[in-house]
Amino acid sequence: MLDQIAEAQTSSLKGYRIAVLLPCRNETLTIARVVSEFQAALPESEVYVYDNRSTDDTAEQASKAGAFVRYEPQPGKGNVVRRMFADIDADIYVIADGDNTYEAAAIRHLVDRLLTENLDMVVGARRIAPEDVAAYRRGHRGGNLFLTSFVRMLFGAKFTDMLSGYRVFSRRYVKSFPALSNGFEIETEFTIHALELKMPFAEVPTRYGSRPPGSTSKLKTFTDGWRILGTALLLFKEVRPFLFFTLIFLGLAVLSLILAIPIVKTFLETGLVPRFPTAILAASIMLLAFLSLTCGLILDSVARGRREAKRMVYLAYPLIQARQILEQFHHG
């Protein structure tokens, strides 16, 4: 029965409004092919290309290929995503890049996974063919591994490719997503939003290819890497403030004890406190430690209230369900 429902869902995607969203800047070499491949793989969808201040004819090429072309003047992928999610109304949202590195042919499988398992996000986890070693630069690969491991440690989640730009979202994910980032750190925000609200999500391995000659990546390994790391830390403080400030408390408490133990030892042996400035410093650091712990307790209650509010917004949008398919089975 489940296999029949899954097969029916696959064949009846026309019942869903599916939007393929492609943020682009200077992708004239590849955008027409990317649009065509998504149209061929998912003809039920509408493809939108958002031009982010291109200086070439990206917009013209996308329009000729049959995409709906729109513009976002504020530079940065996060700004484009915020605009796309606000503008487009759909049941299923697909986001990818316009550089022809992601496997458009896999999109139907990703959408099917979203529908059959009632997920809110499916991530196309990047897998590189052995013969295409140039597809994923070593710096980007190492940075992704470090940042993914770091966020996985902070949030206790199981995922392998936090920074993939190839994703499928449900409507309720998109309409509950605040989109506060401006640049490439938006992928980190995608992941942490799903973790914070405990949304069901999955990763699906997809092929990741190299750019064609003449096409260059806009991602700067170190500059954007630091911004992504900073975003992860900021969101860690916002989402799990008690743990964040408890770690600060422990660090300050240990430092205070390191300074105080020799002074206490000398006092017990001689009855004197020879280093008053150090004693005052140790006491001040311990005071800061307890203030940090108090902040964590207060902000944890605030974060819980914000999380409940986000959850209610998320639940205000119905789950994507193939009701018409089930009705067909019942009446068929």
Whether residues 160 and 256 fall in one domain: no
pLDDT in tens, 12-68: 687 899 999 999 999 999 999 999 999 999 999 999 999 999 999 999 999 999 999
What CATH code is carried by the domain that includes residue 67?
3.90.550.10
Domain that holds residue 268: 241-315
Domain-located, residue 306: yes
Whether residues 305 and 233 fall in one domain: no
Domain-located, residue 324: no
pLDDT in tens, 83-141: 999 999 999 999 999 999 999 999 999 999 999 999 999 999 988 765 555 545 555 56
Whether residues 231 and 293 fall in one domain: no
Whether residues 168 and 290 fall in one domain: no
Domain-located, residue 321: no
Give how many domains the chain has, as a whole number. Answer: 2
CA 50 to chain centre: 19
Q: Give the phi and the psi of residue 131 in degrees, each rounded to 5.
A: -85, -5
Whether residues 148 and 250 fall in one domain: no
Interior/surface letters 51-70, b for 16+ CB within 10 angstroms, e for the rest: bbebeeebbebbbebebebb
Domain-located, residue 37: yes
Whether residues 219 and 272 fall in one domain: no
Q: CB under 8 Å to 42, separation ≥6 — which residues?
A: 13, 18, 20, 94, 107, 108, 111
Looking at the chain, the whole-number percentage of residues with pLDDT higher than 70 is 83
Domain-located, residue 229: yes
Beta bridge partners, 18, equal: 45, 92
**307: burial class by Cβ within 10 Å (0-12, 13-18, 19+)?**
middle
| CA dihedral angle for residue 73, residue 77, residue 82, residue 83, rounded to 10 degrees | 30
Between CA 279 and CA 58 the distance in angstroms is: 65
Domain-located, residue 326: no
Angle among Cα 324, 47, 17 to the nearest 5 degrees reads 15
**Nearest Cα to 146, choosing from 223, 226, 49, 64?**
226
Whether residues 175 and 282 fall in one domain: no
* Pair of tokens at residue 295: 């902040």
Whether residues 134 and 246 fall in one domain: no
**323: burial class by Cβ within 10 Å (0-12, 13-18, 19+)?**
exposed
Whether residues 220 and 255 fall in one domain: no
Whether residues 33 and 80 fall in one domain: yes
Would you place residue 214 in the very low, low, confident or very high pLDDT band (cuts 50, 70, 90)? low
Boundary-marking domain end, from 188, 211, 237: 237
Whether residues 169 and 62 fall in one domain: yes
* Pair of tokens at residue 88: 């487009």
pLDDT over 80 at 7, yes or no:
no
Whether residues 90 and 213 fall in one domain: yes
Between CA 156 and CA 37 the distance in angstroms is: 36
Domain-located, residue 171: yes
pLDDT over 50 at 330, yes or no:
no
Domain-located, residue 43: yes
pLDDT over 50 at 159, yes or no:
yes
Cβ pair 11, 44 in contact under 8 A: no
